[in-house]
Amino acid sequence: MPIIVNLDVMMAKRKMSLNELSEHVELTLSNLSILKTGKAKAIRFSTLESICKVLDCQPGDILEYENPKKKPR
């Protein structure tokens, strides 16, 4: 999938565990884990907003697009 989820990177930068983030954004551990591992098919803007607010970051810090047709350098 060309969308890369960097949630684990942002959590590490903020020294926050999945349990802590789960409590702050009021999502279950399993749903956050699915998002963190890149297995989620969608994310609600309200969820993304909550995560960004708690981690003090921008949506682009969490989500990244990688063009699958672009050849690596």
Q: How far apart are CA 10 and CA 26, in angstroms?
A: 18
pLDDT digits (tens), the chain, 73 positions: 689 999 999 999 999 999 999 999 989 999 999 999 999 999 999 999 999 999 999 999 999 998 878 766 6
**Hunting for tokens 């981690």 — which residue is that?**
55
Q: Give the length of the chain.
A: 73
The partner residues of 5 in beta bridges, in order of sequence, read 63
* Predicted pLDDT at 72: 61
CATH node for 3-59: 1.10.260.40
The partner residues of 51 in beta bridges, in order of sequence, read none
Q: How far apart are CA 3 and CA 17, in angstroms?
A: 23
**Hunting for tokens 């956050």 — which residue is that?**
32
Per domain, the residue ranges of the chain are: 3-59
pTM of the model: 0.86
* Predicted pLDDT at 11: 96
* Predicted pLDDT at 2: 87
